[in-house]
Structure 1
Amino acid sequence: MSRENMLRVRFSDDEYDRLKSLADEAGVSMSQLVRDHLGKVRVRNREDEKERVAMLNRINANLNMIARWVNTHKDSADSIEVVSHLMVIERHIAELSK
């Protein structure tokens, strides 16, 4: 395969040394190491990540409210109500995993 395209990337000394070390350990060139990992790296969209964190914070707040309610009303805790809240949280978590 002909490789005519080149990408120039600037590294700090530490980053360069780390990449060199990884390539040496694998017995390949630094270029080969990068090419070998192109399909294995997952790049996340920062906006999506912010939305996920906000959703997780809301879920965490809901869990805390449910736990507080259950602890406060141990004798009168309505298990159906608690389960329905947990189902809502489960749906939110499923949305995050899409």
Structure 2
Amino acid sequence: MAECRTVMVAARVTPAERAAWQEKAAAAGVSPSELLRRAMARTRTWTAPARSAERERTRQIARIGNNLNQLARWANTYASATEAISVIAHLVSFERSLLALARFDGDGGDAP
């Protein structure tokens, strides 16, 4: 059995914002309340630790990207068949690092 919605939440908006919300709700075939509930259910909030983790992840990705650019520049200048194995090994290492960063959720664990 669904829980009854008995609590009202108020928000101050401009008349234009209210009209835009009503138009979006009508276009979606739902009430403005349902539209806002759905939008809030999809909204991810950021805590200070999450922002810090995201900054660190961005820094690490930039560092990996810099290394990748240096490797590509070197390969374009000095590549030979023997050295290609070394280049591929480094690319695999970069790929593993990027995959690990993609799984990192900022709380010390892996993202779901």
What is the TM-score with the length of structure 1 in the denominator? 0.75
1:54 is aligned to 59
Does 1:85 pair with 2:87? no
Compared CA separation, residues 3 and 42, structure 1 to 2 (3 A):
closer
- How many residue pairs get aligned? The number is 97
1:26 corresponds to which of 25, 28, 44: 28
The RMSD of aligned alpha carbons is: 2.4
Q: Structure 1 residues 62-71 or 5-14, which shifts more?
A: 5-14
Cα separation, partners in 2 of 1:77 and 1:65, compared to 1, 3 Å: farther
Offset at residue 2 of structure 1 (A): 1.7
Asked if residue 69 in structure 1 is aligned to residue 90 in structure 2, the reply is: no
Q: CA deviation at 1:57?
A: 0.8
Cα gap change, 1:24 to 1:82, in 2 (>3 Å):
same
Contact (CA 8 Å) 1:70, 1:77: kept in 2 or not?
no
- What are the ranges of 5 or more consecutive residues in structure 1 without an aligned counterpart? none
TM-score normalized with structure 2 length: 0.68
Show structure 2 runs of 5+ residues with no match: 104-112
* Amino-acid identity (%): 34
Aligned mates of 1:91, 1:12 — CA distance in 2:
48
Indicate how the Cα distance of structure 1 residues 89 and 11 shifts in structure 2: closer, same or farther if over 3 A, else same.
farther
